[in-house]
Structure 1
Amino acid sequence: MDWPVTVALAQAVPTLPEGKDLHYEPKLDGHRLVMWRTQDSVRLQTRSGRDVTAVWMDLALAGMQFPPGVVLDGEGVVYVDGRVDFSAAQSRANSSPARARQLAELHPAHYAVFDLLHHHEHGDVRGWAYTRRRALLEHLLEGYGMGPPIQAVPTTMDVALARTWYEALRGQGIEGVVVKVGSATYRGGSRQWKKVRHAETVDVPVVGYTGPTARPRHLAVRLPDGRVALSQTLTAPLAAHVAQLLTNASSPRRARTRGGDAYTAMDVDILVEVLAGTTRHAVVTVTRVK
Structure 2
Amino acid sequence: MENDGHRTVLWRLADTVRLQARSGRDVTGSWMDLAVAGMALPPGVVLDGEAVVVVDGKVSFEAAQSRAASSPARARQLAEEHPALLIVWDVLALPTGDVRARPYEQRRALILDVLAGLPSPSPIQAVSATDDVEVARVWYDRLVASGVEGVVAKLGSAPYRAGRSSSWKKVRHAETVDAEVVGFTGAAGRPRALAARLPDGRVALSQRLGARLAAQVAAALVGVAPAAARGRAAGGESFTVAEPGLLVEVLAGTTRHAVVTVTRVR
TM-score category (smaller protein): 0.7 to 0.9
State the partner residue of 2:127. 153
Amino acid at match of 1:181: L
| CA deviations over 1:136-163 (Å, ceiling 9, x no partner) | 2212222333533111111112211111
State the partner residue of 2:143. 169
Task: Answer yes or no: is the 8 Å Cα contact 2:188–2:224 preserved in 1.
Answer: no
Pairs within 5 Å for 1:187-198:
187-191=161-165, 192-198=167-173
Pairs within 5 Å for 1:64-143:
64-120=39-95, 122-143=96-117
CA-based RMSD of the aligned residues comes to 2.4
- Give 1:177 deviation, angstroms: 0.4
Amino acid at match of 1:162: A
| Residues 123 and 231 (structure 1), Cα distance of their counterparts in 2 relative to 1, 3 Å cut | same
TM-score by length of 1: 0.80
- Give 1:222 deviation, angstroms: 2.4
Establish whether residue 219 from structure 1 lines up as the match of residue 194 from structure 2: yes
Q: Distance in 1 between matches of 2:108 and 2:122?
A: 18
Establish whether residue 47 from structure 1 lines up as the match of residue 22 from structure 2: yes
SS in 2 for 1:238: helix
State the partner residue of 2:259. 283
SS in 2 for 1:274: strand
Establish whether residue 209 from structure 1 lines up as the match of residue 184 from structure 2: yes
Q: Distance in 1 between matches of 2:38 and 2:108?
A: 18
Which segments of 5 or more consecutive residues in structure 1 lack a partner in the other structure? 1-25
TM-score by length of 2: 0.87
Which segments of 5 or more consecutive residues in structure 2 lack a partner in the other structure? none
Which deviates more from structure 2 when the two are superposed, residues 208-217 or residues 189-198?
Answer: 208-217
Q: Distance in 2 between matches of 1:76 and 1:124?
A: 23
How many residue pairs get aligned? The number is: 263
- Give 1:96 deviation, angstroms: 2.6
Q: Distance in 2 between matches of 1:266 and 1:240?
A: 16
- Which one has more relative contact order, counting CA pairs under 8 Å at least 6 apart? 1
Amino acid at match of 1:207: V
State the partner residue of 2:118. 144
